[in-house]
Structure 1
């Protein structure tokens, strides 16, 4: 391995090229420099006939990636004008799109914690590996934000209303549920991950998979589908909460309490984002929508307050504004989807603001 930037180790071994996220003390949280480094490496390897496979891993024992560097976003929103965060997201979402259409096998090792931006650099890959240690989540509503990095695209495709459940609650799921929800493809026990990655240097991906993939342990969501699908199919967050409280299943009531602690604005915008994502079509259009929503969040109060409460001060007592569902109007929600004009992400062409049918 060689290091072009010490936060991402870049190198090749045999027929495989490797990207290793290398900020283990920060759980490999993504910075703008890391995103640019990954994108440049992928562009180079795409043209290199000696590279047949790309492998993404995370340094340390805790996980692949905890998401974007939200300390930097908090600083930018609190003390700046948000342009630094918007520039980071622009390059990050473009990287997500590149990964999704990469012409060579992109093997993402989703061992340990994989959240937010970590999902973006892994779950769009063509070969997604989970282990018994995998803990996958899109927890953005807990910090007053909305699932991004193509997360609303992935979750909109999940069976039934499982994606809506995961997006609104931000709960962590393991290997079995990741496969059920379409966020992963194969289960490899963590004890044999090293051997699997080593084999990718000398053999095709399919052969390495056949050697190391094992039956996935059973998840938990399949047994909860009845109340998840019935409750989260509602058209509004208020109705979802009411259905959960009225259902009778203890887990449904607990889920309602979880939602009531989240940002009311973030929940309503997330629900609208998911419903719209189902009609938008390809990933590029959804990423464009997410970019509009993310940029709008930079001027709303809940993002900086949510990061303060959960990450900076850690008092776990965010003061959301507005504080109730009733105070978040349809116009408030709609404002998050306002086209950006010249600042659009521009991945899907000039007519990408229009929704299309599946």
Structure 2
């Protein structure tokens, strides 16, 4: 290996990927963060008006203070914070550069991206789960009127909108589009609303109770057409006029890269990747996982606040290994 070999290559420039870069920097290790999209790409895809469950201090990385107007920051404040971290700490980040191939090369790994090639002794995979939406798998889902990502409510002014889902993103989309003049119908598979922020849930319950937002519980969307949709309810099929469908059915990590490079996944529907909980090292030597990807399909297990410690664990393990080699 020549001097151009990196100590660590980090895949993913979300908060946890940045945290890994900060820890590598503190340890005096050479590193590079590669990101297929923009900085904190998952956060960028959140709704414009989204407010975090967590307080700002729980979203901090690298011990760098996160100051926000309210205790629970919003999307814009979070993106500003992580940009400031990247700039103030001069993090080595390459954006809009997707990883295409990775293979072992002696005691290191060669990584080919859309813009170049790198060799690294260690690889940290810190990708999020916003890349692949959970599909409805019904006729008409391919129509342009169907959206799996919700950004701004103004777009749906005076439109007939169906929101599919029972949790946070569904509640926000329903309330915000209704307040901006949309006619909103919710379709909820469960008999009641799900996991929703405590300051949002009563608002939505009251809108449903008063009839401002129509909600079909224990129901499912069965077909989407250009100007209408079919909803299967406990009382039978209902057809309503419709302009847009917001399928807020959640997302899942892209496991194809893990499978391609040989990281073992559980064979059940949870798809848990194999890794050591102390070092975060996978079954592949010197390949580590950090952040939400560690939870497989259980995307609500790991958050910024409880997975930022992954960065510390991983870099400590790598640094100890480096010290042993030098001894």
TM range (shorter): under 0.3
Q: Which has the higher contact order (CA 8 A, sep 6+)?
A: 2
* Greater per-residue helix proportion: 1
Point out the structure with the larger strand share.
Answer: 2
Bigger radius of gyration, 1 or 2?
Answer: 2
